[in-house]
Each structure stands twice: as C-alpha cells, then as structure tokens.
Amino acid sequence: MTNNQSKLPQKPPRVSSYNFVVEAKTIDKHHITYECPYCYTKYKKNGQPYKKAKHRVHTHGSCGELHNRIEARIHHSGTDDPRNGQKVGISITDNTIRR
C-alpha cells in the first residue's frame, strides 16, 4: 500500500448490507443507544406487545468515536426474537444527541 492509497477516503458501508437500519438516539464516548422498532418493554402471555408498551432502547459500544457514520452491530434482545443474530446498521446523524 502506498502513501496515496492510505489517504483515500473509505466508501461508506452499503445500507443493503444490513438486515435493518435504525437511527441512534444518543451517543457518548462509551455507548450508542437506539430505539428498536421490533422490541417492546412489555408483552402479554401470548407474546404480543401491550398497546401502551414502549419500544425498547438497546445499547451498544461506540468505540469512543462521536462522528456521523453507520455502525454495524448484531441484534440481541435477550428474548426468542427471530432477529437475534441479524446485522443492524446504527446510523449516527446530526439528529443524534451527543453527550
């Protein structure tokens, strides 16, 4: 690799390479949080979410970087969700709250 190649900007990741993409709510030096469109805070015995249940907020590591990007993580909700193990694109944008 030459010096010129190392200075070339890297291509942003393709959105299609993720199973789903979400926008980050907050980011700090340690964590990224996002509201999962599939997970809820309360479920009925039959597995359906309650009408007033809120979307669950997931937390992942931020690698100490606060700039805008799409960060790849693996979905793991701790339930029998069929999305566990799928690749999530967490989009850090200008709307993401920096702490």
Pairwise CA distance, residues 76 & 86, whole Å: 8
pLDDT at position 94: 95
How high is the mean pLDDT of the chain?
83
Q: Provide the percentage of residues in the chain whose pLDDT is more than 90.
A: 52
In a domain, 2, yes or no: no
Q: Are 64 and 87 in contact (CB under 8 A)?
A: no
Q: Are 92 and 67 in contact (CB under 8 A)?
A: yes
In a domain, 11, yes or no: no
Domain hosting 46: range is 16-98
How many structural domains does the chain have?
1
**Which band of pLDDT confidence, cut at 50, 70 and 90, is reported for residue 38?**
confident
**Which band of pLDDT confidence, cut at 50, 70 and 90, is reported for residue 1?**
very low
**Which band of pLDDT confidence, cut at 50, 70 and 90, is reported for residue 7?**
low
pLDDT at position 31: 96
Pairwise CA distance, residues 2 & 29, whole Å: 32
Tokens read off for 37: 């469109």
* pTM over cut 0.85: no
In a domain, 67, yes or no: yes
In a domain, 3, yes or no: no
In a domain, 8, yes or no: no
